[in-house]
Structure 1
Amino acid sequence: MAVVPERFRDSIRRELSDLVAGTRPELMTWVDRYGKEKAVLMPQPEEIWTHDRTDFLARPDGSVFVVLPLWTAEESPSDLSAEVDVAANGVSTIVDVRVL
């Protein structure tokens, strides 16, 4: 378990909100194939920042890599996770959504 520091959360939250809203269809492959029917992502709760399956890696250049479990309508959390790169300037990008 890792804790995502507060200073990164707003930027990551914006990316997660876009993912839940469906504006990142290129990342929905595993969501659409998850379970018997495609999964429905929910707005992500505050628990993602400190969950047992959360991972946080700070890099020497000031950027970070974060893995967060994703909540769905059926599971809290599911086996889906979001992998997020946060650049040294604080801009976050979800680079992958996968099944753990």
Structure 2
Amino acid sequence: MLTPETVEGTGAETTPAHDIPYVLIVWNDPVNLMSYVSWVFRSYFGYSKDKADDLMMEVHTLGRSVVSTGSLEKVEADVAAMHRYGLWATFKRADEA
């Protein structure tokens, strides 16, 4: 039986709800240049040029990309940072993404 504090896992065990990470999603927008988005990913997250370019291309071609994962507090800070850079960003629990 599941309690409000747990969610079903992939196996027989359950995972406490507070242990599920959150994901930062960056959305495509009509304003920012692709080179700028890649630069933001390199500057803020410290990604390599190749990794940043791959994520930027996901944003551009798929309309969104999961750019970081972590605790609620970390991902909330990442979303705020993306907003300061002028990017459209949201977050949600990883099991809902």
* TM tier relative to shorter chain: under 0.3
Give the structure, 1 or 2, with the largest relative contact order (CA under 8 Å, sep 6 or more): 2
- The structure number with the bigger radius of gyration is 2
TM-score for both structures, normalised by structure 2:
0.28
TM-score in terms of structure 1 length: 0.27
